[in-house]
Amino acid sequence: MKPQRAVASFDSASAFLRVLAGHLHGRSSPVLGLGPAARAAGRVLPLVNRLPVAVREALYTWSGWSEAVREGRLHDVDSDEIARWAAGHYPRRRYPAVVIGSSSGALVHLAALAGVPWLPQTFLVPVRRHGIHPDRPREAMTALADARAAFLGANPHVAVHHMHDANQDRLMIRHMAYFRFKYRRLPAAYADFLDRHLEPGGTVLISDCAESRPTTSTGPRQFFQHGAVGGATEEEYARGGPRVAEFLAGYGSPVRAWDSPDPDSQSPEAEWGFDPALVPDLARLCAQRGWTLERLGFPSAQALSEPVAEAHRAWYTEQGVTANRLLVSSFALIDAHLPLTLGFVPYWTVFSTLPARDALDDYLRRAAAYDEIRLGVFSHGTRSIGLATPADWDLVLSRARHGACCGVDRAAFPLDFAANARFHEQAAKLPPAANRPGPAPWTWVRDRLGGHIEPVGSVGSR
């Protein structure tokens, strides 16, 4: 099976890969950094917002289902070929550093500033399934046992994290399951990329997001994760509560709390967390080749956004660019190229949730004031627990003299699927800075983030 058929294009890792590769090729990323078909679809997305809510929900659900792999074909998914496909996105030239590991939109902006590639540890393979209610996570865990085993049988060097989130992924998991796999051994294609494209004496930087979640072990190298990073707490996923009951009632669910499986372990978070099992292979290869191996550690995916934003401000100031305009991206609603071409400082939010909003607001209250803030809001189609509406985001917009949403239809949110196209279109029309900042040398970026980077020993441990 072709990698682009197996891997979800709507996932964060896939979008970030395309966005960063696009920047290194010298281009921006309309419509979430997806391909030509998505750009063509972007022209009709504004029409979708005029449809009734039920129709928009169905379109969103079935668009995701169309990318999902049939359970009977999971043995055809080849994680080694996916690694080769991922590495093939980048320009064929030498780089002073290569990043490998966890996903984060902030990491993408950091790599774009330094002009270096990132190779993901985690990818999403969506799996078609029917007949399981989204609010029955225990049933989903049991029903997909053979599917997990089939995938792992064909891919002996990865772990599978079966993530089930009826809060934020409610529409998608009506007819699919989320299998996120993490490389636990260094793929040959990644090693080959390093050999061909890392400069002699260069740096391999591990992107190490320490985010973890309670999980249920369902077999060797497989974990079931109920819930995800977002607006609901771990306790609410496990035990329920008033917000959960209200949410489920609003969607006409037959239950008022989820039948969450009992966790028996704490594992790297399915989407964002780093699995340290990959480190020994990297350490051995770097020792053999004379490369430096370092770790960029951060506690959660969005935690890196503040130091990355401040790094951009410092670099812009050194380049004579006024660093008082902020472009806020949201989940996969991101463009790594436009901030650097327009002179905007980038800040990435993990999702449109109140905790993500509060983290950005905390940064703005402590940072030197921005004159202008432009903010994108990702629509995931669900009135989820902890959702931050455009009105909630007005708090952070008020921190600047000029604050406005970028490409957001407030009335259509959270079913504002046209925002996927409008964010880029409106951001691209923003006036550029008087001076355009050039790329920052890797040594400058590394020194600027020095407080977050540490050397890795021969076997690697957090």
Q: What are the pLDDT digits (tens) for 14-39?
A: 999 999 999 999 998 775 544 334 44
Q: What are the pLDDT digits (tens) for 448-457?
A: 998 999 999 7
**439 found inside a domain:** no
Question: Does residue 458 carry a pLDDT above 60?
Answer: no
Last residue of a domain, one of 301, 324, 357: 301
Considering the domain architecture, whether residues 383 and 295 belong to the same structural domain is answered as no
Considering the domain architecture, whether residues 16 and 119 belong to the same structural domain is answered as yes
d(C-alpha 266, C-alpha 144), whole Å: 21
- Segment 99-109 shows an average pLDDT of 99
Considering the domain architecture, whether residues 171 and 284 belong to the same structural domain is answered as yes
Q: What are the pLDDT digits (tens) for 401-429?
A: 999 999 999 999 999 888 878 899 899 99
Which pLDDT does position 44 carry in this prediction?
57
- Segment 254-278 shows an average pLDDT of 98
| Contact yes or no for 213/266 (Cβ under 8 A) | yes
Question: Does residue 45 carry a pLDDT above 70?
Answer: no
- Segment 82-99 shows an average pLDDT of 99
* pLDDT cut 90: percent of the chain above it: 86
* Strands lying side by side in the sheet with 372-375: 345-349, 325-330, 372-375, 402-405
The 3-state secondary structure of the chain reads CCHHHHCCCCCHHHHHHHHHHHHHCCCCCCCCCCCHHHHHHHCCHHHHCCCCHHHHHHHHHHHHHCCCECHHHHHHCCHHHHHHHHHCCCCCCCEEEEEEECCCHHHHHHHHHHCCCEEECEEEEEEECCCCCCCCHHHHHHHCHHHHHHHHHHCCCEEEEEEECCCCCCCHHHCEEEEEEEECCCCHHHHHHHHHHEEEEEEEEEEEECCEEEEEEEECCEEEEECCCCCCCHHHHHHCCHHHHHHHHHCCCCCCCCCCCCCCEEEECCCCCCCHHHHHHHHHHHHHHCCEEEEEEECCHHHHHHHHHHHHHHHHHHCCCCCCEEEEEECCECCCCHHHHHCCEEEEECCCEHHHHHHHHHHHHHCCCCCEEEECCCCCCCCCCCECCHHHHHHHHCCCCEEEECCCCCCCCCCCCCHHHHHHHHHHCCCCCCCCCCCCCHHHHHHHCHHHEEECCCCCCC
Considering the domain architecture, whether residues 245 and 318 belong to the same structural domain is answered as no
**147 found inside a domain:** yes
Which pLDDT does position 40 carry in this prediction?
43
The two tokens of residue 405 are 């949403």
Considering the domain architecture, whether residues 275 and 411 belong to the same structural domain is answered as no
Considering the domain architecture, whether residues 85 and 151 belong to the same structural domain is answered as yes
| Contact yes or no for 322/232 (Cβ under 8 A) | no
| Contact yes or no for 176/128 (Cβ under 8 A) | yes
- Return the top range by mean pLDDT from 50-54, 265-269, 436-440: 265-269
Mean pLDDT score of the chain, rounded to an integer?
Answer: 94
**448 found inside a domain:** no
**452 found inside a domain:** no
Burial class of residue 392, CB neighbours in 10 A (0-12, 13-18, 19+): middle
d(C-alpha 427, C-alpha 325), whole Å: 12
Q: What are the pLDDT digits (tens) for 433-445?
A: 999 998 999 999 9
Considering the domain architecture, whether residues 317 and 422 belong to the same structural domain is answered as yes
| Contact yes or no for 381/63 (Cβ under 8 A) | no
The two tokens of residue 199 are 């400069």
Q: How far is CA 67 from the centre of its chain?
A: 18
- Segment 250-276 shows an average pLDDT of 98
The residues, any chain, with a CB within 8 Å of residue 66's CB and separated by 6 or more, are none
Which pLDDT does position 39 carry in this prediction?
44
Considering the domain architecture, whether residues 193 and 267 belong to the same structural domain is answered as yes
Q: What are the pLDDT digits (tens) for 358-367?
A: 999 999 999 9
Question: Does residue 316 carry a pLDDT above 50?
Answer: yes
Which pLDDT does position 52 carry in this prediction?
79
Considering the domain architecture, whether residues 317 and 187 belong to the same structural domain is answered as no
Which pLDDT does position 56 carry in this prediction?
76
Which pLDDT does position 239 carry in this prediction?
97
Which pLDDT does position 104 carry in this prediction?
98
Considering only CA atoms, which of 220, 223, 258, 261 is closest in space to residue 237? 258
pLDDT band at 166 (very low <50, low <70, confident <90, very high): very high
Q: What are the pLDDT digits (tens) for 382-392?
A: 999 999 999 99
Considering the domain architecture, whether residues 126 and 199 belong to the same structural domain is answered as yes
- Segment 216-232 shows an average pLDDT of 98
Pairing of strands 198-209, 95-101: parallel
Which pLDDT does position 30 carry in this prediction?
72
Which pLDDT does position 32 carry in this prediction?
55
Backbone phi and psi for residue 154, each to the nearest 5 degrees, phi listed first: -90, -10
> By residue range, what is the domain housing residue 319?
302-428
Q: Which residue in the block uniquely carries the two structure tokens 């550093």?
A: 97
Considering the domain architecture, whether residues 296 and 322 belong to the same structural domain is answered as no
